[in-house]
Amino acid sequence: MCTYLTESIKATGSGKGASGWFGLDEVNVYFDHPVHAPADHTVNIDFRNVGKGPSARVAVELTVETARALAKAIETTLAAAPPGLV
């Protein structure tokens, strides 16, 4: 099914796409059909620079298990960072 669900956040950081590095200003997360991953539905994340156009995008399509593990890994990494850095 097409879920039509999209979570969008403002972003600061950088991503590396097909034409090199660019600054990020938006990240969209959605659970829907993938383009490439061999699954019916995946957690899709688009790291974008809206001003640079549609091709300024770093895309990932993750299985549910991988997406949950990634979210946990990010929180674990931040929690383990030395005091004062985060």
For binding to other proteins (CB under 8 A), which residues are involved?
A: 1-6, 8, 26, 28, 30, 32-35, 38-40, 46, 48, 50, 53-55, 57, 59
- Judged by CB, which is closer to other proteins: 39, or 73? 39
Nearest distance, CB of residue 43 and other proteins, angstroms: 14
Q: Which of 47, 42, 50, 51 is nearest to 5 (CA)?
A: 42
For the bound state, the minimum distance from the C-beta of residue 22 to other proteins, rounded and expressed in Å, comes to 13
* H/E segment holding residue 71: helix 64-80
Residue type at 71?
A: A
Q: Which is nearer to other proteins, 35 or 80 (CB)?
A: 35
- Min separation Cβ 15 and other proteins, Å: 13
Q: Report residue 85: phi and psi, to 5°.
A: -90, -25
Which of residues 20 and 83 has its CB atom nearest to other proteins in the complex? 20
Residue with tokens 């809206």: 50
Contact 5, 32 (CB under 8 A): yes
